[in-house]
């Protein structure tokens, strides 16, 4: 055996020892330290066995100690008459164990640095209406024209004297003025949006309404409901609904939620006469009271914005990234939106003119406390979600039966991949009719159309990976977002450094943290790009980052091929 092969053999043996002995070593070390093990009653510490040899205990307690012993014996054997092969293998065995111990220490240090970065950037998202302290009655608001209508609600622009400072002792929000040329409606004078739900079969009591429409309350802030009404939102159509969800820059926030009598608003008789109560329309089927939700008024839906604007290549990537960050936040909270489409995404422009996106309309969401992102699908009566065209393959092809469960953990991320086509100026392939249209139940990945050539390579890779049929081969929203973060902020370091090393990744994260902190100290206003960087650092995880790098390297190779 050559010297090189002998050294390699020693390293392989030390690595095998690590994998074989790591768990037994931890158990033996716990015994020696007197720590309780599983199955040991509380208060009765496991003591070291007296007949265990001291040398065995030493090896099991410390991998570093084992390496030191092996290296010492390897040196002694070099000076003895042992065979050359055995001497070299034994020494390499000790050196390999020492390197493994050093690598473990570096990994622990990188993980600790990562946790410090998370803690530094984990901050509570604050909404812009800090003085929003009232508004639990319909009479508190001035309602303007209708700005949207769906299958279960109508949305109107609204204003309130407490939502903005008064000027000259009068509330200027009640005065409607002409919209600015680049805005489709008078957002400056009606900064709020009021969503009036259509109540067909929920009854007219506040408790029944809040319970039946509780999915709409998932993004509500803690002060959205009056104290006495918060206990009525425990159960909805799909079971237990969380009482609150932490705010996020890319998810809508419901400021107020209350029940009131249905008013006759502008366009009601023409737009939705059948859902009005009989007192407003004798032929109407609606109840007298319903749920009202108050949110921030955004100038566009994503569909409306894309009809009048063409995002640049970087803006398009940032828009996809914002959707992934919003979806990842929902997944962390155990929530699946299940109706993600361009009509359910709102847009405004930041101070630099970059589109800022928020996810809205949670009427079809899954937010069960017992099952999380998994839904038992034992009957066709179980609602599997909203828009059938943008339903992920694993959801669209699910067949009800005993023990069947639909996993929604990656379904919203799949929908983001489909919406990306619209963001980059193409028709959504899952909306298109005719032979060019795709059906999520039976499409093949090779049928996916190519994105325009101006789309960055890494963004193209992410979109293709998000639209994989097999959810096991599809990256999660967190990993897909990390891929775009690395592509956007990694720069030349992405191609020049060894990203398989956790220390390299941790060093890069520390540099990025310093850059973001320095930008945050400047008097410049917050932008979409800065907010995304903060979200990335607040959720960074070295395992997810390593998975993102693996997907990115694989996707680039496939794309170039």
Active site positions, annotated: 339
Calpha distance 155→389 (Å, rounded) = 24
Q: Would you tell me how many other CB atoms lie within 10 Å of the CB of residue 82?
A: 14
Burial class (CB in 10 A: 0-12, 13-18, 19+), 291: buried
Interacting residues of 111 by C-beta distance below 8 A, sequence separation 6+: 502, 542
User: What is the DSSP code (8-state) at residue 372?
Assistant: B
Select from 41, 18, 46 the least CA-distant residue to 30.
Answer: 46
Residue pair 215/241 in contact by the 8 Å Cβ criterion: yes
**What is the spatial distance between Cα 412 and Cα 422, in angstroms, rounded to a whole number?**
16
CA distance 460 to 456: 6
CA distance 394 to 385: 12
User: What burial letters (b/e) apply to 450-484, b meaning 16+ CB within 10 Å?
Assistant: ebeeebbebbbbbbbbbbbbebeebbbbbbbbbbb
Asked whether the CA dihedral 413, 419, 420, 423 is positive or negative, the reply is: negative
Q: Nearest 5°: CA angle at 32, between 26 and 38?
A: 55
- Cα distances (angstroms) measured from residue 469 to each of 205, 391, 541: 44, 11, 26
Tokens of 424: 């980059």
- List the one residue out of 308, 319, 310, 313 whose CA is nearest residue 350: 319
């Amino acid at each position: 055996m050559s010297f090189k092969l002998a050294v390699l053999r020693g390293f392989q043996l030390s690595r095998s020892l690590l994998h074989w002995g790591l768990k037994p070593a931890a158990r033996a070390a716990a015994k020696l330290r007197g720590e309780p093990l599983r199955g040991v009653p509380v208060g009765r510490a496991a003591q070291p066995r007296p007949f265990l040899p001291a040398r065995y205990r030493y090896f099991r307690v410390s991998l570093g100690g084992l390496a030191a012993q092996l290296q010492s014996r390897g040196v002694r054997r070099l000076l003895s008459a042992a065979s050359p092969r055995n001497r070299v293998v034994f020494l390499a065995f000790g050196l390999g164990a020492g390197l493994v111990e050093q690598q473990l220490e570096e990994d622990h240090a990188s993980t600790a640095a990562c946790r410090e970065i998370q803690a530094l950037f984990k901050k509570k998202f604050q909404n812009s209406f800090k003085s929003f302290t009232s508004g639990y009655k319909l009479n508190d608001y001035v309602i303007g024209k209708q700005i949207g209508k769906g299958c279960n609600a109508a949305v109107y622009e609204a204003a309130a004297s407490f939502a903005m400072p008064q000027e000259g002792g009068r509330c200027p929000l009640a005065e409607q003025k002409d919209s600015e040329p680049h805005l489709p409606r008078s957002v400056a004078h009606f900064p709020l949006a009021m969503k009036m739900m259509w109540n067909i079969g929920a009854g007219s009591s506040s408790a029944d309404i809040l319970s039946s429409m509780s999915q709409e309350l998932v993004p509500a802030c803690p002060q959205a409901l009056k104290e006495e009404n918060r206990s009525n939102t425990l159960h909805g159509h799909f079971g237990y609904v969380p009482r609150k969800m932490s705010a996020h820059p890319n998810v809508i926030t419901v400021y107020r939620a209350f029940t009131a009598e249905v008013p006759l608003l502008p366009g009601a008789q023409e737009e939705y006469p059948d859902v009005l109560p009989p007192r407003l329309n004798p032929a109407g089927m609606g109840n007298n009271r319903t749920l009202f939700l108050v949110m921030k008024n955004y100038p566009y839906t994503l569909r409306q914005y894309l009809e009048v604007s063409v995002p640049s290549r970087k803006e398009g990537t940032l828009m996809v990234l914002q959707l992934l960050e919003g979806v990842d936040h929902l997944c962390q909270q155990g929530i699946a939106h299940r109706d993600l489409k361009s009509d359910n995404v709102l847009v405004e422009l930041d101070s630099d003119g970059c589109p800022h996106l928020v996810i809205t309309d949670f009427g079809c969401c899954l937010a069960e406390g017992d099952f999380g992102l998994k839904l038992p699908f034992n009957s066709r009566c179980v609602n599997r979600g909203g828009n059938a065209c943008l339903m992920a393959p694993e959801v669209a092809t699910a067949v009800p039966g005993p023990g069947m469960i639909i996993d929604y953990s990656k379904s919203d991320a799949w929908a983001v991949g489909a919406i990306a086509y619209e963001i980059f100026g193409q028709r959504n392939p899952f909306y298109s009719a005719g032979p060019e249209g795709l059906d999520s139940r039976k499409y093949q990945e090779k049928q996916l159309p190519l994105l325009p050539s101006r789309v960055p390579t890494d963004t193209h890779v992410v979109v293709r990976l998000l639209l994989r049929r097999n959810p096991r081969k599809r990256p999660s929203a967190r990993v897909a977002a990390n891929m775009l973060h690395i592509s956007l902020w990694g720069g030349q370091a992405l191609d020049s450094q060894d990203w398989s090393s956790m220390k390299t990744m941790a060093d890069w994260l520390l540099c990025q943290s310093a850059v973001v902190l320095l930008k945050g100290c400047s008097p410049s206003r917050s932008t979409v790009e800065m907010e995304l960087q903060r979200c990335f650092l607040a959720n960074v995880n070295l395992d997810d980052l390593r998975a993102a790098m693996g997907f990115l390297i694989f996707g680039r190779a496939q794309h170039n091929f």
